[in-house]
Structure 1
């Protein structure tokens, strides 16, 4: 049981440090924070996304994601458009400037991950850790565990 506690501590602390380091580099080089990059990157891969879908993917509240999208819209990186399938919701898509920003920031993101992770893990270890964490994530998502309430 103690190994699971160690896993939790190491996982959370490593994630926080990586997230903060990546965020600092993105802020300095592109004027965005990690949470903005994650939303932008998601929109780049999922054209015409719904806020509710994004909230599920990021295990965040719909209100928080909606405010994040509001901030992207205010900067001209994303736009909401009417949802033709449901007049009560809108779809979110990247603008041309948002697409350009994602492309530039993705290179920075990849470089920073390489800088932070490569000295500690071999490619085989990265594959093993990614596989293990992916399995845990899928199990939690399938069981709808860890979603915000409300």
Structure 2
């Protein structure tokens, strides 16, 4: 592992970040145009669909962003009527986030757009074996970074 050329690592980082930015921006544009939401809102709503009753702290940990930014994002979703806060029976200081019926309908429709866009941009460029290999590679890297608590926001 230590034998990787610095220029290869630098190129890996540049390509990774630029691909992520371009994919994120393309998803942002498509989701905004078709559903009136942006990628970060879709990700929050989708996470809540898959993990009903998550706390703001759970979202912050999942997306490696600060608690304050996560709380503001949840507030915006709540103001739109897509998310509701419920009392946390295990901790009165926190609340649990759940999708409203409107939020569930929105994320369901947006999931189709999200999948279609990724299919067009990724599967339209890479073959299935390359996508599977890349997915495994990034899952391994993400797990290692998370296990070592690297890059987690301070607050």
Partner of 2:103: 98
What secondary structure does 1:145 align onto?
coil
RMSD (Å), alpha carbons = 0.6
Structure 1 residue 138: Cα displacement: 0.3
1:84 corresponds in structure 2 to 89
Runs (5+) with no aligned partner, structure 2: 1-5
The reply on whether 1:144 has 2:149 as its aligned counterpart is yes
Taking structure 1 as the reference length, what is the TM-score of the superposition?
Answer: 0.99
The number of residues matched between the two structures is 150
Residues in 1 aligned to 2:116 and 2:106: alpha-carbon distance in whole angstroms: 16
Structure 1: 5+ residue stretches without partners: none
Q: What is residue 16 of structure 2 aligned with on the other side?
A: 11
1:20 maps to what in 2?
Answer: 25
Scaled by the length of structure 2, what TM-score is found?
A: 0.95
Q: Which runs of 4+ in 1 moved over 3 A?
A: none
- Alignment equivalent of 1:2, drawn from 7, 10, 31: 7
Aligned to 1:75: 80
